[in-house]
A and B are shown apart, each in its own frame.
Chain A
Amino acid sequence: MIRIFSILVGLFFTVALAWSLLWDTVQLSKDGLPTSAALEFGKAHDLKPLKLASDGPFGKFDKKQLKRGFEVYAGVCASCHSLQQVAYRSLVYAGLTEKEVKELAAKATINAKDPLTGEMKDRPGLTADKFPPVVFAGTGTPPDLSLITKARKGGAAYIYSLLIGYETSQPAELVKKFPDAKTPEGMFYNPYFANLNIAMAPPLASDDLVTYSDGTKATKDQMAQDVSAFLVWAAEPELEQRHQTGAWWILFLIFATTLAYMSYRNIWAEKKGH
């Protein structure tokens, strides 16, 4: 009885699926496979290679680079993008001195509860504060950058590719095939961006937008690499600790597992078949 019932249920689903399959095949033969400008001209799957000191299982941050990256963020990106998960005090781990951090925090204006009156009030920042929100008046919504390397496929390499991947004009073929994908007025063509047209003007359009405190020449490529490295740190400040803890822990596990395996062999030694 149950088997007859089950076969009927199985056939019901099969018929429903065959019905969907039939219609979809008809539809497909009419429309062809779906395509889009991003699918054909996008480069999101072919990012520019970026090597960072923090890569790989033994990766560590290059603090000099982090500091340069912070200088790019502060000098260029910060006018549009916030960094709200990052506390000023933590910047000492990104190569800044305590003095620099204190000065930096003091320059910020933080809207916080006044401990005496309970009112929300502006006050100078403290090192324990996190970066404040940024008001942006232009077109588009600049995302907070605290987690950006984790929030995009490709991570730091994506940010790097995006920053130096702007192209001055769209391929003619693209505009011919997908007229809707033509870059609108006030937008910019960037094949690394998800829908190819981004509201952010090329932020690193020329060299020497910042003067590095360590004297490194601030080329476009250098700035893009450094700010990408800094954003990895901003998103994963625990990275070094994670890599180191993991190495010791896994070494210990390999040792303990070997011992456990040997004792297992020992226990089963006289039982055949194992």
Chain B
Amino acid sequence: MSFPWSKEYKPSHPLMVWFDERLPLPRLIYNAVGGGYEVPRNLNYFWNFGFLAGLCLVIQIVSGVILAMHYGGDTSVAFNSTEHIMRDVNWGWMLRYGHANGAAAFFAVVYLHIFRGFYYGSYKAPREMIWLSGVVIFLLMMATAFMGYVLPWGQMSYWAAQVITGLFSAFPLIGDPLKEWLLGGFAPGNATLNRFFSLHFLLPFVILGVVILHIWSLHIPGSSNPTGVEVKSKSDTVPFYPYYVGKDGWTIGLLMIVYSVFLFYMPNALGDPENYIPANPMQTPAHIVPEWYFWPFYAILRSFTQDLLFFEARLLGVLAMFAAILVWFFLPWLDKSPVRSASYRPLYRKFFWVLVIDVLILGYLGKLPAEQPYVLVSQLATMYYFLHFLVIVPIVSSIERPDPLPFSITESVLGHDGAAKLTKD
């Protein structure tokens, strides 16, 4: 955010003066990620994940564009062209493993980014727009990852396409025509693969566009911080450059190390072996499972086993799965506690950790076959998931007595005395 003490862009080199007068791009950069952007000084490492998510997006776009140069989006060649990339294209294996594991890294980073938001109440006023655009990004990411997974046309690609588009047929009346329209046929086929390839290429750029809106809306109020107390004075902030460039920067290295260990030493650890078998419409795999980042939602989908009134069980599952993400859109208005950070909300904090465990359990169950006793557990876990967002959060936020907040960010960092001295100067 632009505070009264934010520095103004003053180019020193005549060339930059000339450039900036004609196209104020250097100014934009300076004010967005340079010395002109003032950021709370007390951000912890959970505030690094937005930056790292941006890095993942770049990795995915670059590796994806090159993969597309060698991939063949036709059911007769898709599987073999993927193997051609792995075997014949120079460094092709690195591109493909990099892209597949890059998707996993992207989701891991974004999940941490989202849960940071849940804990620190980042979605609250005046940051609702950042949050809403974030949820849109997440939905787009899910669609992109799903369609990308279909492209190698392995067994799991094919059956994932079958199952996920099949979900739409759960809707009464419009269901079946909708499914056929999405697939371009009665079952996944060439038309499906072609449109998925086209959309999988397009969507990352749409995500990029929404990320720009996301950061634009972030730069209006500026970042929140672990105390949730808004910036009050100059001593509360530091300029993005060099402070957060340095802090975000070195964690790029950490992320890259973890990512590279997967890419080079266990490139298939997160994937399903079944997808190294070419798609075969005549043979259903024993267990159809999505990639790990969809497991919690897959568990929710499968926990509805009985019809209720005029709702078919399958439809309930589909509604619940979509609702599981759509509820995030309403979070800023469901949580009416004026205190942002869970560090000062003793009751909410407990429920937050229950949610974390709950989602981990759902994730674990989503990988397993839909058999007992797993289904019973996922029914309980799904119940908590919805109760958490739709019932507990609204009620807790009105009955809870928050702990006392620090007076300012500076005080929370330097203690009361240090802050008093600083604000006097």
User: B-contacting residues of A (Cβ < 8 Å)?
Assistant: 2-3, 6-7, 9-11, 13-21, 23-25, 28, 33-34, 57, 85, 87, 90, 143, 146-147, 150-153, 194, 235, 237-238, 241-243, 245-247, 249-250, 253-254, 256-257, 260-261, 263-264, 267-268, 271-273
Q: How far is the CA of A20 from the CA of B314 in the complex (A)?
A: 12
Do B253 and A13 have beta carbons less than 8 Å apart?
A: no
Do B371 and A16 have beta carbons less than 8 Å apart?
A: no
* Contact A23-B260, Cβ < 8 Å, known A2-B333, A33-B373, A34-B371: no
Do B311 and A256 have beta carbons less than 8 Å apart?
A: no
B144 to chain A: which residues have CB within 8 Å? none
Q: How far is the CA of A85 from the CA of B388 in the complex (A)?
A: 50
Do B334 and A242 have beta carbons less than 8 Å apart?
A: no
B286 to chain A: which residues have CB within 8 Å? 194
Least CB distance from A156 to B in Å reads: 12
B119 in the interface (beta carbon within 8 A): no
Q: Which residue of A lies closest to B274 (CB)?
A: A151
Q: How far is the CA of A3 from the CA of B391 in the complex (A)?
A: 8
Mark contacts of B184-221 with chain A using CB atoms, 8 A cut-off: 1 yes-contact digit, 0 otherwise: 00000000000000000000000000000000000000
Q: How far is the CA of A271 from the CA of B41 in the complex (A)?
A: 8
* Contact A20-B253, Cβ < 8 Å, known A237-B87, A263-B246: no
The A-B contact count (CB < 8 A) is 167
Given contacts A267-B243, A273-B41, could you give 12 more A-B pairs where the C-beta distance is less than 8 Å?
A: A2-B333, A6-B394, A16-B308, A17-B380, A28-B372, A85-B87, A147-B276, A238-B93, A242-B264, A246-B265, A271-B243, A273-B413
B306 to chain A: which residues have CB within 8 Å? 16, 19-20, 23-24
Mark contacts of B70-97 with chain A using CB atoms, 8 A cut-off: 1 yes-contact digit, 0 otherwise: 0000000000100100110000011001
* Contact A20-B373, Cβ < 8 Å, known A6-B390, A256-B253: no
Q: How far is the CA of A177 from the CA of B379 in the complex (A)?
A: 31
Query: Can you pick out 22 interface pairs between chain A and chain B where the beta carbons lie within 8 Å of each other?
Result: A6-B327, A9-B390, A10-B390, A13-B383, A20-B303, A21-B379, A23-B306, A24-B306, A24-B379, A147-B276, A150-B276, A243-B264, A249-B264, A250-B261, A253-B253, A253-B260, A257-B250, A257-B257, A264-B247, A264-B249, A272-B414, A273-B414
* Contact A263-B308, Cβ < 8 Å, known A250-B261, A254-B257: no
B69 in the interface (beta carbon within 8 A): no
Q: Which residue of B lies closest to A90 (CB)?
A: B87
Do A85 and B334 have beta carbons less than 8 Å apart?
A: no
* Contact A17-B379, Cβ < 8 Å, known A57-B265, A151-B276, A151-B277: yes
Interface residue tally on B, bucketed by range: 35 or more
B24 in the interface (beta carbon within 8 A): no
Do A245 and B264 have beta carbons less than 8 Å apart?
A: yes
B405 in the interface (beta carbon within 8 A): no
Least CB distance from B169 to A in Å reads: 20
Q: Which residue of B lies closest to A86 (CB)?
A: B87
Do A13 and B320 have beta carbons less than 8 Å apart?
A: yes
Do A253 and B387 have beta carbons less than 8 Å apart?
A: no
Mark contacts of B25-51 with chain A using CB atoms, 8 A cut-off: 1 yes-contact digit, 0 otherwise: 000000000000000011000000000
Contact of A33 (CB < 8 Å), options: B41, B261, B372, B395: B372
Least CB distance from B356 to A in Å reads: 19
Q: Which residue of A lies closest to B250 (CB)?
A: A260
B238 in the interface (beta carbon within 8 A): yes
Q: How far is the CA of A69 from the CA of B247 in the complex (A)?
A: 51
Do A20 and B304 have beta carbons less than 8 Å apart?
A: yes
Contact of A10 (CB < 8 Å), options: B243, B253, B375, B391: B391
Q: Which residue of B lies closest to A22 (CB)?
A: B306
A254 to chain B: which residues have CB within 8 Å? 253, 257
Q: How far is the CA of A250 from the CA of B264 in the complex (A)?
A: 9
Do A20 and B386 have beta carbons less than 8 Å apart?
A: no
Do A16 and B311 have beta carbons less than 8 Å apart?
A: yes
B83 to chain A: which residues have CB within 8 Å? 85, 146-147
Do A250 and B260 have beta carbons less than 8 Å apart?
A: yes
Q: How far is the CA of A19 from the CA of B316 in the complex (A)?
A: 12
Q: How far is the CA of A273 from the CA of B379 in the complex (A)?
A: 44
